[in-house]
Structure 1
């Protein structure tokens, strides 16, 4: 089992020096907007992923007027207590330690403390382009397979280099394509691994998403989810050769896992165009809970679940269905934020489960 006993924040966002202790599996965090509820969840996320969930640079998370931050999480993993420390130095250098040992690569830590977060802007996974859905699946697979994360890092590095060279070819009228051959060989090495893992895990994930959607929405609506990849039809090396002339003309790489998508349809039409607001929210939670379930299955214990401002997203029935599943049917630790303490306590009391409420003043 994974359990966060405490976390201390020093010069992190709006926290000058604060420590929080957690003694229950279900934790409610309440306070007015701007008091730091989301910042606390993000600090927990930092200690699991070595970075913020919200995509900004590390320096953007330093308290105003300060020149660095420090986060210390005291975790318990399968009966063993551990200390994880994230430090952003005054120089801008970030360091991450586990039990006093410095990680050489941040990727080595990702997946040790699996974590799933649901935040207000996550509806982008459904409403925006394929990049958001790739980011969703990459966050999941990076926690399950350290090789996947390293291959993804290497793939994106080579892709950037290849695209840079394609632009140089146009700007400098370069005819020699031998360097493209080298980049292509490296892209194939990393890209085929990424594709194979996405295809493998999506066979598990997609049925789970559909099942959760039906539970949360209390419906049998015809939801279809399909993995779309050019590599399903042709080998990656063949695709790169076939698209080379187009790549040179457009100065970017037009084939590969970076173009993959997860297609979402409702009643044979685009989900985002047809679905109501409630249906979109139900699918978002279904995606996240399926991620939670897959992590739990492969890790052997439940990940941390961070729910930010979920009461504003779902109606009473959907909220009851969600909380009953995450709080009663699962044994993982849950952190949930809301602006109204009475509302948190009311929902938690109805579950008949021990809980803790932290009020931010």
Structure 2
């Protein structure tokens, strides 16, 4: 089992210094808006992913007026203690240590402490553009497969270089496109692994999402999810050849795995176009619970589950179905925030006698 036993925050977001002990599997975090409930969840997420879920830059996580931050968390992983320390120096340098040993590369940590988070803005996975769904899928697969993460990092690095070169062709009126051949070969090398891993993984993942959607919604509704990729029609090398003139004209790479998407359809129509708010939220939670199940199966123990402000987003029926899934049918540690302590107590007491509420 994976369990977070304690965490201390120094100059992290709105926390000057605070420490918390967690002695139960199910933990509620209660407090008014603005007191730091989401920030506490984000600190837990930071220890698992070496970065914030909500802030784009590390500097945004520093307490206003301070020059850096420190997070220290103590976990138990399969019966063994594990200490995580993250320090952002005033110089902007970040240090990440596990059991007092620093990483050479932060990517080495991804997947060691599997974690699933559900936050209000995650509805963009359903309603937003394709990049939101790719980001969700990439975060999941990176926890499952270290090679996937490395190949994806290298693909994105070469993609940036190729896009910069395409812009230089127009700026300098350069006619020699030989360097594009080199970039294309590298993108094929890195991207092929990513494409095949996505395709194979989604074969089992999509039925899991459909199963959870029906359980949360409480009714059988026709939900179809299809993997969309240009590589399902063309080989990688042929793809770049076909789109080269367009790429040169538009000065960016218009074909590749960075254009992949999940086509979600409800009763054979676009899901985000016709689904109700409740149906969209049910699908979001289904995606996250399927992620939880995939990580649990691969790791041999349940990941941490972080739920931010979900009581406000679901009706009582869907909320009960969700909590039944995460509290009763999974043994992983759960952290859930709410503005009302009595609502946390009411929902949890209906399901279990053993839980903890932290009031901020």
> TM-score if structure 2 supplies the norm length?
0.99
- SS of 1:351 mapped into structure 2: coil
Kept after mapping to 2: 8 A contact 1:222/1:267: yes
Residue number in structure 1 paired with 2:271:
271
Alignment gaps of 5+ in structure 2: none
Kept after mapping to 1: 8 A contact 2:266/2:275: yes
- SS of 2:110 mapped into structure 1: coil
Alignment gaps of 5+ in structure 1: none
- Kindly provide the CA deviation profile for residues 23-59 of structure 1, in whole angstroms up to 9, marking residues without a partner as x: 0000000000000000000000000000000142000
Number of equivalences: 360
- SS of 2:296 mapped into structure 1: helix
Matches within 5 A, 1:40-189: 40-189=40-189
Query: 2:183 and 2:93 mapped to 1: Cα distance?
Result: 30
Determine if the alignment matches structure 1 residue 6 to structure 2 residue 44. no
Kept after mapping to 2: 8 A contact 1:328/1:353: no
- Kindly provide the CA deviation profile for residues 260-294 of structure 1, in whole angstroms up to 9, marking residues without a partner as x: 00010001100011100100110010010000000
Residue number in structure 2 paired with 1:230:
230
- Kindly provide the CA deviation profile for residues 124-148 of structure 1, in whole angstroms up to 9, marking residues without a partner as x: 0000110000000001000000111
Kept after mapping to 1: 8 A contact 2:55/2:61: no
Residue number in structure 2 paired with 1:18:
18
Residue number in structure 2 paired with 1:283:
283
Query: 1:85 and 1:233 mapped to 2: Cα distance?
Result: 46
- SS of 1:326 mapped into structure 2: helix
Query: 1:204 and 1:5 mapped to 2: Cα distance?
Result: 33
How much has 1:353 moved relative to structure 2?
3.8
RMSD: 0.6
Kept after mapping to 1: 8 A contact 2:222/2:267: yes
Which aligned segments of 4 or more residues in structure 1 are displaced greater than 2 angstroms? none
Determine if the alignment matches structure 1 residue 300 to structure 2 residue 308. no
- Kindly provide the CA deviation profile for residues 204-253 of structure 1, in whole angstroms up to 9, marking residues without a partner as x: 11000001000000111110000000111111111011111111111111
Residue number in structure 2 paired with 1:197:
197
Residue number in structure 2 paired with 1:330:
330
